């Protein structure tokens, strides 16, 4: 289930980022960061399952930072 969600969030991230690059419309940047952060969270949880604590905590840290940036983008832009 985690692998499926990680692939789904990654596909959504790539699709939104590609759309923004092709159309030069960068208003969806906060959503790209949001889904990228969710992908990092799921990758971190998978690393915890593999008993790789350091890389798991680093990915959780990236998730926390990206959530902060996404929330700031939503608050400042909308």
Q: What confidence tens digit (pLDDT) does each residue in 16-54 have?
A: 999 999 999 888 899 999 999 999 999 999 999 999 999
Exposure class string for 31-67: b at 16+ Cβ within 10 A, else e: bbbbbbbbbbbbbbbbbeeeeeeeebeebbebbeebb
- Residue-level pLDDT at 78: 66
Judged against a pLDDT cut of 90, whether residue 2 lies above it is answered with no
CB neighbours (10 Å) of residue 26?
11
Contact 35, 9 (CB under 8 A): yes
| Stated pTM of the model | 0.88
């Amino acid at each position: 289930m985690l692998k499926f969600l990680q692939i789904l969030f990654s596909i959504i991230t790539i699709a939104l980022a590609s759309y923004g690059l092709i159309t030069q419309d960068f208003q969806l940047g906060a959503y790209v960061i949001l889904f990228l952060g969710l992908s990092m969270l799921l990758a971190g949880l998978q690393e915890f399952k593999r008993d790789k604590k350091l890389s798991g905590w680093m990915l959780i840290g990236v998730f926390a930072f990206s959530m902060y940036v996404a929330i700031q983008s939503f608050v400042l832009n909308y």
